[in-house]
């Protein structure tokens, strides 16, 4: 079975217990990763530093930790880390989520059997602790459905994805779209003809709730969202109908009161 690198990025506002739990979920996989690459995106708190140092001391052959002098944002940190991954298969993982133990095994089996370039799974969103599931983010399974879905919404769950490093570097790696760097990457990969798939099983438990909703609203978030969708149009992924429908839709949801946005997300857009 092909070896895999795990790619993570951490910054100072994250919580040390969450980071430890995320890392531990990757170390208890049924198939162990060959390496775990973590990019520290700017100075960290002493608590976060301790977590990283503990694991690097305990697993010196697995952990590669890179420190950036200042915070650049997730896209830059992931691009930096991806260039330094040793394995061609790379599994993305967020530093506050929890992977199911079979996640890497399921991805490796699927990618070997079907020659996917990018493969992900479903996510279960929880508030507080992973037993309090409030929603599932369900994404389509097959290439044609993923392509169709991508014309309206992000077709992959970023923190669940495994991809081929050489293919991602070939299309330019992550670009700096704060909050949308993964969606931008999938669109470029679809345009390049890469093979996508999603598993119907939950791969990752994702921290959600009101904090996540707060990040997904406001004028600045809307501006960045619209900028990305105009780029999709400019680069011939969207037609004018796609641009009009999505721009109107996100304008309403991004600017509505947080409580109403929470209701829309968890009653209509999530299952």
Q: What is the tens place of the pLDDT at every residue in 152-174?
A: 999 999 999 999 999 999 999 99
Instruction: Map tokens 């619209």 to a residue.
Output: 226
Domains in the chain with CATH codes: 4-208 (3.90.550.10)
pLDDT at 210: 61
CA torsion, points 222, 205, 155, 85, in degrees to nearest 10? 100
Give the tens place of pLDDT for each residue, 241-250. 999 999 998 8
Query: The pTM is what?
Result: 0.93
List pLDDT tens digits, range 15-45: 999 999 999 999 999 999 999 999 999 999 9
Given a cut of 70, is residue 264 above it in pLDDT?
Answer: no
Q: How far apart are CA 27 and CA 33, in angstroms?
A: 8
First to last CA, the chain: 34
Residue 35 burial (CB count, 10 A):
19
Count of alpha carbons within 13 Å of 215, Cβ hemisphere only? 8
Closest C-alpha to 222, from 247, 243, 258, 259: 247
80 pLDDT more than 80: yes
Classify each residue of 52-87 as buried b or exposed e, where b means 16 or more C-beta atoms within 10 Å of its C-beta: beebeeeeeebbbbeebeeebbbbbbbbbbbeebeb
């Amino acid at each position: 079975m092909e070896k895999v690198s795990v790619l993570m990025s951490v910054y100072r506002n994250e919580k040390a217990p969450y980071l430890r739990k995320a890392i531990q979920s990757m170390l208890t996989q049924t198939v162990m990763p060959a390496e775990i690459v973590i990019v520290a995106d700017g100075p960290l708190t002493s608590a976060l530093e301790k977590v990283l140092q503990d694991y690097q001391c305990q697993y010196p052959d697995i952990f590669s930790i890179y420190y950036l002098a200042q915070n650049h944002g997730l896209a830059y940190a992931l691009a930096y880390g991806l260039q330094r991954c040793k394995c061609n298969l790379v599994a993305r993982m967020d530093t506050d989520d929890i992977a199911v133990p079979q996640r890497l095994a399921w991805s490796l089996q699927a990618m070997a059997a079907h020659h996917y370039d990018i493969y992900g799974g479903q996510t279960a969103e929880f508030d507080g602790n992973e037993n309090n599931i409030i929603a599932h983010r369900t994404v389509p399974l097959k290439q044609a459905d993923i392509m169709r879905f991508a014309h309206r919404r992000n077709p992959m769950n970023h923190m669940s994805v495994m991809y081929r490093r050489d293919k991602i570097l070939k299309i330019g790696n992550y670009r700096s779209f704060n909050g949308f760097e993964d969606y931008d990457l999938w669109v470029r990969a679809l345009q390049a003809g890469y093979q996508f798939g999603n598993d119907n099983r939950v791969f990752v438990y994702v921290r959600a709730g009101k904090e996540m909703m707060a990040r997904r609203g406001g004028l600045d978030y809307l501006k960045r969202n619209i900028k990305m969708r105009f780029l999709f149009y400019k680069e011939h992924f969207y037609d004018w109908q796609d641009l009009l429908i999505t721009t109107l839709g996100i304008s309403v949801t991004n600017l509505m009161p947080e409580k109403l946005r929470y209701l829309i997300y968890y009653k209509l857009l999530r299952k």
